[in-house]
């Protein structure tokens, strides 16, 4: 018999197996912080896991509670008798309680027990939560002491020392798994990366070259793009469009850098569709000519797209040396869908989805521009073949910029963001029905009350159809993002995604905005939420965002927003996702390597106030052996793979919540919404944002033309939602969903 400490469900299982019952609480306590009462009369057993522990507060995550007959104790004897065994569970000694005030009186909630004859203990509260006070951690140390004492009495071998604690808690790295597969002779991914094919050799033996120039006042990211992107069909732009805003709230609410990928259509593309056991590598064009070079990369047994990406990046890693401060020098840029994240946590995605769209689409970007908004600098960059010493491409880009009308007359742009309201005609907008959404909120709360989830991040989608594009518009690139000067003057033209993007960034500037035209998708985002950032040394940071209030005359200042958001419901929403994110990071970083420097801070954005938390982690240091030297293991890619889909878009616990949300949302794909957008740099850095406050469309989706039209209509999607907890109201969640929808939808409403 081995010592056991059951927590939450494990605690309830111990009570149930010992004669007690498990019933529903009068109201769930998910994310609630309460004082744990563990003082006892001297007559009770003194040797328990609360010895020497002072009073502390702990986080509760339960809608069910253990019943050992506590309600049969009279109020007059409760203070004394609650520490005694009860008839329904004579083998269990109560160790801790919480009394919860209810409309019908106080509800007695058992928090900890000890089995009288077996080495079994149980805790209802969560000692691992960030809001459980440090005094509560001593309970775990005491349990370990008791467990080791039991093992000694049972003549078991007792291992001591920190090296034996949590030795299997960290997941094996992707690179280590690749090496293990190679040793077994089952590594088709690595075999492809070793092949001398045109695509498998892209990016090998490259060096970083750049030139820095000053950025004139009033030149914005769209201006730079319009100078350089004429005639281009694919784009990746990561735009810190609120960089000039006044900073408020916690640090880093503003973005410092923007990244513009150049010649995207000539870049190597890695694509993967969930359900396939392979990836597709392709280059669509070379020097402006369509070629569509394609190679299929099989994964092999127990390997996946992440193993391919990690192996590819490792062979192309470049040093991060030098004084230049730039987050991106070259590497992968692109997007992942929500469904890509589901696959990673073993949540089933339908085999027949009616399309073959990529769930992961990354371009290997070797030509780019990084804008440093703080220093007013622009870096033109090229990852080129080593010893080529050919900077003519960089020089040509610099010349194009500095001789342009924008540079000569900064502030005079060809397209004003507000002009979009005069371009598009007759959008057809279908928003979620308010009563149906409220019904889904109620279903979420039914699942939560039944103990199926703590929190469910419910979403819904609005669809907008716009007049279709003519063949000429397809050919001239208008629909793919760029407007020529002739088209700017044509007020009857079809609205271009580029116009929508400029309007959105003007209406709703954000630190993680983006415009992406890649892999058959067009994505326009004003995301305020960083998902994951990591550096070349393995330091990672995540910024889960939960808790939203819309700006208004009544809520106009940070102090007013803090008063509204620092309430139990909003703090519980944030806390549950924070603990989930900490769990995700611990699985890669390991015990003791995850911290929370900022907890539940309120930040100000263009149209809303948001509550955020910053969670940091440090990846394990590379091991060194006498035979191989330094052996790089975990990278930021391991963290990305282990953390999807974003916890702020799922609820907690993640896997079960995602399964429930599929049912509630009627198995409708979220697609790009709730996924992530960003880059993984060749130096080992990466930065990813959550795809929210976003509109997107797919090239293969169309709606029938409206009366008087001849072309099929484009179909745009906007997702919005919020975290449903036991404290939510259907009306409040409906209003939060429409508040988040208002920003992106306003672009079409103006049109």
423 pLDDT band (50/70/90 cuts)? very low
Indicate the pTM of the whole model.
0.90
The 3-class secondary structure across 479-532, one letter per residue, is HHCCCCHHHHHCCCCCCCHHHHHHHHHHHCCCCEEEEEEECCEEEEEEECCEEE
Half-sphere exposure of 504 (CA within 13 A, CB side): 31
- What pLDDT shows up at residue 249? 44
418 pLDDT band (50/70/90 cuts)? very low
Under 8 Å between Cβ of 94 and 82: yes
Range of weakest confidence among 273-282, 313-322, 393-402, 558-567: 313-322
Domain count for the chain? 1
* Residue 606 domain flag: no
The mean pLDDT value for 510-520 works out to 95
d(CA 499, CA 427): 15
Question: Hey, is 542 helix, strand or coil?
Answer: strand
Q: Is-cis flag, bond preceding 653, omega within 30?
A: yes
Cβ burial, residue 398 (10 Å; 0-12/13-18/19+) = middle
In sequence order, what DSSP letters do the residues of 554-565 get, joined into one string? SS-SHHHHHHHH
Under 8 Å between Cβ of 123 and 7: yes
d(CA 670, CA 659): 13
- What pLDDT shows up at residue 577? 94
439 pLDDT band (50/70/90 cuts)? very high
751 pLDDT band (50/70/90 cuts)? low
Question: DSSP assignment, residue 89?
Answer: B
Under 8 Å between Cβ of 479 and 495: no
The mean pLDDT value for 475-485 works out to 41
Percent of the chain with pLDDT over 90: 69
Under 8 Å between Cβ of 669 and 468: no
Question: DSSP assignment, residue 232?
Answer: -
Under 8 Å between Cβ of 544 and 574: yes
Buried-state track 145-174, b at ≥16 Cβ within 10 A, e below 16 = ebbeebbeeeeeeeeeeeeeeeeeebeebb
d(CA 320, CA 538): 13
- What pLDDT shows up at residue 90? 92
Question: DSSP assignment, residue 54?
Answer: P
d(CA 461, CA 721): 9
Tokens at 360, concatenated? 């992961």
pLDDT in tens, 342-367: 999 999 999 899 999 999 999 999 99
The mean pLDDT value for 110-138 works out to 95
- What pLDDT shows up at residue 494? 53
d(CA 450, CA 117): 32
Question: DSSP assignment, residue 566?
Answer: S
At residue 165, does pLDDT exceed 60?
no
Percent of the chain with pLDDT over 70: 88
- What pLDDT shows up at residue 232? 78
Q: For residue 528, what are the contacts with CB-CB under 8 A and spacing of at least 6?
A: 510, 511, 512, 545, 603, 605, 608, 610, 692, 693
pLDDT in tens, 644-675: 999 999 999 999 999 999 999 999 999 999 99
Report how far Cα 552 is from the mean position of its chain's Cα atoms: 28
Under 8 Å between Cβ of 53 and 573: no
Between the CA of residue 328 and those of 214, 369, 383, what are the distances in Å?
Answer: 18, 9, 11
CB atoms within 10 A of CB 201: 14
480 pLDDT band (50/70/90 cuts)? very low
Helix boundaries (H) for 428-470: 434-449
- What pLDDT shows up at residue 6? 97
User: Considering Cα of 189, then 193, then 194, then 200, what sign does the dihedral take?
Assistant: positive
Q: For residue 673, what are the contacts with CB-CB under 8 A and spacing of at least 6?
A: 338, 459, 461, 691, 692, 694, 696, 717, 718, 719
The mean pLDDT value for 202-210 works out to 92
The mean pLDDT value for 625-653 works out to 82
At residue 436, does pLDDT exceed 80?
yes
Half-sphere exposure of 73 (CA within 13 A, CB side): 22
Range of weakest confidence among 152-161, 242-251, 255-264, 278-287: 242-251
750 pLDDT band (50/70/90 cuts)? low
CB atoms within 10 A of CB 450: 12
Q: What is the CA radius of gyration of the chain?
A: 28
161 pLDDT band (50/70/90 cuts)? low
The mean predicted confidence, pLDDT, of the chain is 88
pLDDT in tens, 361-372: 999 999 999 999
At residue 451, does pLDDT exceed 50?
yes
248 pLDDT band (50/70/90 cuts)? very low
d(CA 685, CA 327): 7
- Can you give the residue range of the structural domain that contains 124? 4-164
d(CA 751, CA 486): 20
At residue 97, does pLDDT exceed 70?
yes
If we measure between CA atoms, which residue out of 81, 110, 104 comes closest to residue 21? 110
680 pLDDT band (50/70/90 cuts)? very high
Under 8 Å between Cβ of 29 and 126: no
* Residue 37 domain flag: yes
d(CA 241, CA 256): 9
Residues facing residue 652 across a β-bridge = 455
If we measure between CA atoms, which residue out of 424, 398, 643, 429 comes closest to residue 544? 643
At residue 470, does pLDDT exceed 80?
no
d(CA 39, CA 559): 39
The mean pLDDT value for 146-170 works out to 74
* Residue 682 domain flag: no
The mean pLDDT value for 364-385 works out to 95
At residue 84, does pLDDT exceed 60?
yes
Angle at CA of residue 240, ends 238 and 243, nearest 5°: 165
- 385/729: higher pLDDT: 729
Tokens at 539, concatenated? 């330091």
d(CA 428, CA 444): 30
H/E segment holding residue 64: strand 64-67
CB atoms within 10 A of CB 346: 9
196 pLDDT band (50/70/90 cuts)? confident
Strongest mean pLDDT among 301-305, 608-612, 658-662, 702-706 = 658-662
* Residue 258 domain flag: no
φ, ψ for residue 250, nearest 5 deg: -70, 165
* Residue 380 domain flag: no
CATH number of residue 39's parent domain? 3.40.50.880
Q: How far apart are the first and last CA of the chain?
A: 70
The mean pLDDT value for 382-394 works out to 85
40 pLDDT band (50/70/90 cuts)? low
* Residue 40 domain flag: yes
d(CA 303, CA 305): 7
pLDDT in tens, 303-334: 899 999 999 999 999 998 777 889 999 999 99
d(CA 15, CA 88): 10
- What pLDDT shows up at residue 164? 55
- What pLDDT shows up at residue 606? 77
Question: DSSP assignment, residue 115?
Answer: E
* Residue 142 domain flag: yes
Tokens at 650, concatenated? 């799922």
* Residue 593 domain flag: no
Tokens at 477, concatenated? 């690139």
């Amino acid at each position: 018999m081995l010592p056991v400490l059951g927590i939450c469900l494990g605690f309830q299982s111990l009570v149930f197996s010992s004669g007690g019952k498990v019933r529903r609480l009068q109201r769930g306590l998910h994310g609630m912080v309460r004082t744990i009462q563990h003082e006892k009369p001297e007559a009770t057993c003194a040797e328990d896991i609360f010895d020497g522990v002072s009073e502390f507060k702990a986080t509760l995550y339960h809608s069910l509670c253990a019943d050992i007959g506590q309600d049969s104790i009279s109020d007059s004897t409760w203070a004394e008798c609650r520490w005694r065994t009860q008839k329904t569970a004579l083998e269990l000694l109560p160790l801790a309680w919480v009394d919860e005030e209810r409309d019908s009186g106080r509800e007695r909630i058992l928090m900890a027990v000890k089995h009288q004859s077996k080495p079994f203990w149980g805790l209802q509260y969560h000692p691992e939560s960030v809001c459980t006070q440090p005094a509560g951690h001593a309970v775990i140390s005491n349990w370990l002491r008791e467990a080791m004492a039991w093992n000694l009495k049972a003549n078991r071998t007792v291992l001591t020392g920190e090296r034996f604690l949590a030795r299997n808690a960290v997941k094996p790295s992707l690179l280590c798994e690749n090496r293990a597969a190679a040793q077994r002779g089952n590594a088709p991914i690595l075999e492809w990366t070793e092949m001398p094919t045109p695509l498998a050799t892209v990016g090998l033996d490259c060096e970083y070259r750049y030139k820095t120039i000053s950025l004139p006042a009033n030149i914005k990211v769209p201006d730079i793009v319009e100078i350089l992107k004429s005639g281009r069909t694919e784009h990746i732009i990561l735009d810190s469009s609120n960089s000039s805003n006044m900073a408020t709230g916690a640090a880093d609410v503003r973005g410092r850098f923007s990244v513009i990928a150049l010649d995207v259509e000539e870049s190597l593309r890695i694509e993967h569709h969930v359900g396939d056991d392979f990836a597709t590598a392709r280059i669509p064009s070379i020097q402006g000519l369509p070629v569509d070079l394609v190679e299929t990369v099989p994964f092999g047994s127990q390997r996946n797209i992440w193993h391919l990406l990690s192996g590819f990046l490792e062979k192309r890693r470049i040093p991060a040396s030098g004084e230049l401060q730039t987050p991106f020098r070259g590497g992968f840029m692109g997007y992942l869908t929500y469904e890509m994240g589901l696959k990673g946590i073993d949540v089933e995605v339908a085999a027949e989805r009616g399309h073959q769209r990529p769930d992961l689409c990354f371009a290997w970007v070797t030509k780019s521009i990084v804008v440093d908004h703080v220093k007013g600098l622009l870096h033109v960059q090229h990852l080129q073949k080593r010893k080529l010493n050919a900077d003519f491409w960089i020089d040509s880009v610099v010349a194009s910029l500095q001789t342009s009308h924008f540079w000569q007359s900064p502030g005079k742009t060809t397209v004003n963001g507000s002009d979009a309201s005069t371009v598009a005609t007759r959008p057809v907008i279908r928003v979620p029905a308010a009563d149906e959404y409220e019904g889904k909120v109620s279903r979420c709360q039914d699942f939560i009350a039944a103990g199926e989830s703590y929190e469910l991040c419910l979403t819904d989608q609005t669809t907008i159809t716009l007049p279709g594009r003519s063949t000429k518009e397809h050919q001239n690139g208008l629909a793919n993002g760029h407007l020529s000067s002739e088209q700017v003057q044509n007020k009857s033209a079809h609205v271009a995604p580029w116009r929508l993007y400029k309007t959105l960034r003007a209406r709703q500037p954000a630190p993680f905005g983006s415009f992406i035209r890649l892999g058959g998708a067009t994505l326009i985002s004003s995301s305020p939420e960083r998902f994951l950032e990591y550096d070349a040394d393995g330091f990672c940071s995540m910024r889960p965002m939960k808790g939203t209030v819309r700006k208004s005359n009544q809520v106009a200042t940070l102090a007013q927003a803090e008063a509204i958001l620092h309430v139990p419901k909003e703090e519980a929403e944030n806390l549950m996702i924070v603990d989930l994110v900490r769990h995700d990071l611990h699985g890669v970083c390991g015990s003791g390597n995850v911290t929370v420097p900022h907890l539940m801070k309120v930040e100000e954005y263009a149209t809303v106030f948001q509550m955020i938390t910053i969670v940091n982690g440090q990846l394990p240091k590379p091991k060194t052996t006498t035979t191989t030297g330094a052996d790089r293991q975990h990278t930021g890619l391991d963290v990305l793979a282990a953390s999807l889909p974003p916890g702020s878009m799922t609820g907690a616990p993640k896997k079960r919540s995602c399964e429930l949300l599929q049912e509630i949302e009627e198995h409708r794909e979220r697609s790009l919404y709730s996924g992530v957008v960003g880059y993984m740099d060749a130096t080992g850095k990466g930065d990813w944002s959550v795809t929210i406050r976003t509109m997107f469309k797919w090239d293969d989706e169309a709606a029938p033309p409206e009366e008087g039209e001849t072309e099929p209509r484009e179909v745009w999607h906007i997702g919005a939602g919020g975290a449903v907890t036991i404290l939510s109201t259907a009306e409040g969640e409906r209003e939060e969903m429409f508040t988040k929808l208002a920003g992106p939808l306003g672009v079409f409403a103006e049109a």
